[in-house]
Structures are given as C-alpha cells and as structure tokens.
Structure 1
C-alpha cells in the first residue's frame, strides 16, 4: 500500500512539470514582434518626411511669390497714401479758401462803394487796399482757385445756384445765367462756393 501512494505522488509531480513549462513567456517571439513594430514606426516618419520636404525649386518659387506680394502691397500702400494725402490737401485748401471768401467779398463791396461815390476816401488809402486785394487774388490764383463769374452760359446746378429768375424773349436764353449776383469759386472739381445768379426762363 505504501508503494502505491508514493508512486501516485511521483506521477502527479511529473504531470505538473509540463504545465510549469507552458507558463514561461516566449521571449524570442515578443522581441521579434517589437523589433518589427519599431522598424515600421521608424519607416513611416521617414516616408512622411520624404513627401513633405519641398524641393529647392519649390522653395525658390515660394520666396519669389512672397517677394512679389510684398512689393505689390507696398506699391498699393504708397498709392493709397498719396491719394489720401492729395484728398487731405484738397480738403484743407477748400476749407481755408471758403473761410477767406467773406474777406474777398468785403473787398469787392468796398470798391463798389468807392466807384459809386458812396465813400469819399483818401486816394493813398484806397491804393493800399487795392494792393492787399491784389495780393489776395494772387494767393487764390497760386493755389488754383478759379472764379465762377461768367454770365450767358447754360445753368450748371453743380456750380450755379439760381436765386432769381427772369423772363427772356429768346429761346436760346432759356435756363441760362443772365446775371451773376455772387461770384462762386472752385479748386479743380472741388466746389468752394456755388455762384449765385439770375436765371432766364423762356415763356412761349
């Protein structure tokens, strides 16, 4: 009986040995898998780098494109700055000469009174006023200020203001400026003040 039990124990031990061996990891297989995965991962970035890296020609074309864009933007900026400068200068001129027009009107009224004999003044004083008036007119002329004072022309409501109307017998005088009542002024296409006048109307 004792021998049978000993043999049974020995058999169980022998049966357990293969099971223990099966639990040991296969290190060679795992190392091969890791090495294979590492090789693939290393190959992917290398392939991506090869695709994304631009050629020297592409780099040169990109630099040239950026340069041309910068030159165009600079040119547009200069043109815009010059245009804004001219517009500002024109606006300042219009405002300045609009403020000077009442002074010019006063000179005109003064000389009308003198010519009509309504004011008897020293001749030297009158000559001094005339010099100032001429200097002011030269200033207007220097800066391109143009007087709108011509009568007998068709009414242009961009530069004329009709304050009175007058019947006319000639059809050709219909809607023409018969008389200028207040001189207008402009600088180029910028109106400083419209010319006020009497406009003819033809009645059939």
Structure 2
C-alpha cells in the first residue's frame, strides 16, 4: 500500500514539474513575442524619421538646383549687359574720335579760308613795296597803304571782328583792363577811360583781347 502511495506521489510531483516547465516555456515565448513586438514598433517609429530625412535631403537638393538655375540666369543677364556696355563704349569712342577729327577739319578749313581771303592783301603789300622803291610820291604811297589797310580790315570785319569802344567810355571790367590811373581832374568823371594804350577786339561777340586803358580815379 505504501508503494502505491509513493508511486502516486511521484507521479504528482512529476506532473507538477512538467506543468511548471510548460508554464515557464510559455512565459519565455510570451516575452519573446513582446520583444519582437517592441522591435517592430521601434522600426515602425524609425521609418517616418527616415522618410522625413529623405524628404529633407530631396528638398535641399531641389533648392540647390533652383539656386543653381537662378545663378546661371543671372550670369547670362550679366553677360548680356556687359556686351551692351562694350558695344556702347565702342560706339561712343568712335563718335568721340569722329567729332574730334571733324573739329580739327573745321579749324583747318577755317584757317585755310582766312588765308585765302588775306592773300589779295599780301599781293597789294608786295606791289606797294615795289612802288615804294620806284616812286618818291609819299602822298600816293600813303594813300595806297591806307587802302590796303581798309581792305585788310574789311576782311576781318566780315569774319566777325569788331573793335571795343574804350576812350571816354565808362570803365567796364568785362571789356577793359586798367593799366594805370590818373588823379581825377576838373571836368573828368570818375572811372572814365581817358586814354587807350592798346585797342581791344571782339570776335563774334566774344572778347578775344581786352582794351588796355588809363582811367581817372
């Protein structure tokens, strides 16, 4: 009877041990499942981060491409403006050279025209000098020289030359240059020109030589 009881007790102990091992095995399996679940969740949580990272990278690359395109456009605009500047500068330089050349031609032609007008006067002077050696008629020679002078002066007047009025005129710094002054005497007005040392001239209303004068002060 005791043997039967012992055998029964051993069977129950064995069953308890088996149940305990099965329970432990189930707990281990449950823990492994939970761990796997956590890993999957962590991986799932990381996926949006990776996706955002990729989006950021692609976004930066897109912005970089946009800036690169804008830079190329600005380079093209600069090249176009620079080309226009060079062409305008070249045109202006050619214009400057052309006008300078034309100005020199005008001066040259004006000088040539003046000389051509004065050549007859030179001819008259040459004839007067020849007559001076052949004739003793001083009055006739004087009249001839006076006619030559009138002819010469007439040519200058046609070119715009005009004498500046000075003697007995009021002193004007726009036309006159006071060389000296004398004390004011009876019958004289102050700052009036009493004598002209050198005649002044205007060419086309522009003073080319001031009258050198003496004034009463």
State the TM-score, normalized to the length of structure 1: 0.41
Tell which has more relative contact order, 1 or 2 (C-alpha 8 A, sep 6+).
1
Q: Which has the higher helix share?
A: 2
Report which of the two structures shows the higher radius of gyration computed on alpha carbons: 2
